[in-house]
Amino acid sequence: MDDELGPVAASAFFAAACKALESTDYARVSPSATDRVTGPWSATFEDASSVVGVQAYESIDELIQGWPTAQSHLTDLISRFIEPSDPKAWDGYLVLIAPERVNEDQLDEIVAIQYNTSRVRKLVVTGDKIAIDQSLRIALSPLLPLSGVRRLPLRNSDDDFYADVERLIEDDGIEPELTRLLLVAYRNNEPLMSAIESHLVSAENGTDVPT
């Protein structure tokens, strides 16, 4: 293990994971909701459809030894507030973090934890200072909104929706006329490539494309 990592790194990456979840629709569950504590770097989050436990450890060995305790904690919490018949009971996640590289001896056990499907899904985040940042993003991706996608407000009609889409694409610098033609072709169930070809030919000849 890199001696410079350990407690500081564990707390830093725990904080990063919590911040990533709190930046979305997840809300942190008050510690008073649970009567059990599994260490200083432990937190629970909830949104409309899922419950997420986050637990950070100083080392991979501690993670391997300790995750059943963390899972038991999360399972107990879910069981006290959510009925087995509620779909949310099936949507539990346990994020396990250790700021250390996995060595060969530990690899099988880490993979086994990731593939362990008892009670809740396990997301394991490990690595050194550089790798763990990326690892954190990848591991939390099932819980976070897709990056680079702007959310559209709900619309009452298709026309409103396509108007929004046209505006969004225009914001990205695509030629407005081409966007309009493509959307018309799409709504008429016509080939998109033919629409692009017609647009290019018209532009070359200086003529208008019939809509």
Partner 1 sequence: MAAAMPGDQRLTLVIGAGCSIEHPTGMPSGGDLAEQAHQKLTLTRVIQAVANPRDLSKVADAVKAANHGLQAALIDVLPIDEMRIAKPNSGYLIAAAMQIDRVVGSTVSLNYDQAGINAFSVLGAGGIKVVHGIADVGSIRPQNFVFLHGSAALPGEDWVIGTDALDGEWISTWREVVAQLVLTTPVVVFAGLGSPAALLTSTVSKIRAALPGQTASYLIEPAPGRSDFADALALQDGHQLTCGWCEFMDSCAEVLLGAHLQNVNNTLPVVRLQAGTVANADVESVFDSVRQMGLVGYGRLRASWQDASRGQEYPRHPVPGEPGLISIADLFQFIAELETWSGESVTVEDSGIVNVPTATGTKRVVLYSSPAATDFEEARTRALLRHSSLATSASGVIVVVAHSNPPRAVSPPADILREEDESSPDVLRGPDPTTVLFLPYVRDSVTLQEKVA
118 contributes a contact to partner 1 by CB under 8 A: yes
Least CB distance from residue 61 to partner 1, whole Å? 6
Least CB distance from residue 119 to partner 1, whole Å? 4
Cβ pair 119, 93 in contact under 8 A? no
- Which one of residues 54, 57, 92, 139 is an interface residue with partner 1 (CB under 8 A)? 92
How many CB atoms are closer than 10 A to CB 162? Answer: 16
- Which one of residues 7, 31, 40, 68 is an interface residue with partner 1 (CB under 8 A)? 68
- Cα 45 to chain centroid distance, Å, stands at 13
Query: Of the two residues 92 and 185, which places its CB atom closer to partner 1 in the complex?
Result: 92
87 contributes a contact to partner 1 by CB under 8 A: no
Q: What is the dihedral of CA 33, 122, 138, 91, to 10 degrees?
A: -60
Q: In Å, how far are 66, 81, 88, 167 from 52, measured between CA atoms?
A: 17, 14, 11, 36
Characterize the bridge pairing of strands 92-98 and 121-126: parallel
- Which one of residues 28, 101, 119, 137 is an interface residue with partner 1 (CB under 8 A)? 119
Per-residue x/- marks for partner 1, 15-44, CB under 8 A? ---------------------x--------
Query: Of the two residues 59 and 135, which places its CB atom closer to partner 1 in the complex?
Result: 59
Q: How far apart are CA 54 and CA 144, in angstroms?
A: 14
- Which one of residues 16, 78, 185, 195 is an interface residue with partner 1 (CB under 8 A)? 78
- Which one of residues 14, 44, 96, 121 is an interface residue with partner 1 (CB under 8 A)? 121
User: Token pair 């009452």 is at which residue?
Assistant: 156
Phi, psi of 27 (to 5 degrees): -115, 140
- Which one of residues 12, 29, 69, 162 is an interface residue with partner 1 (CB under 8 A)? 69
Query: Of the two residues 25 and 76, which places its CB atom closer to partner 1 in the complex?
Result: 76
Binding-site size for partner 1 (CB under 8 A) equals: 26
User: Where along the sequence are the contacts to partner 1 (CB under 8 A)?
Assistant: 36, 61, 64-65, 68-69, 71-73, 75-76, 78-79, 82-84, 86, 89-90, 92, 112, 117-121
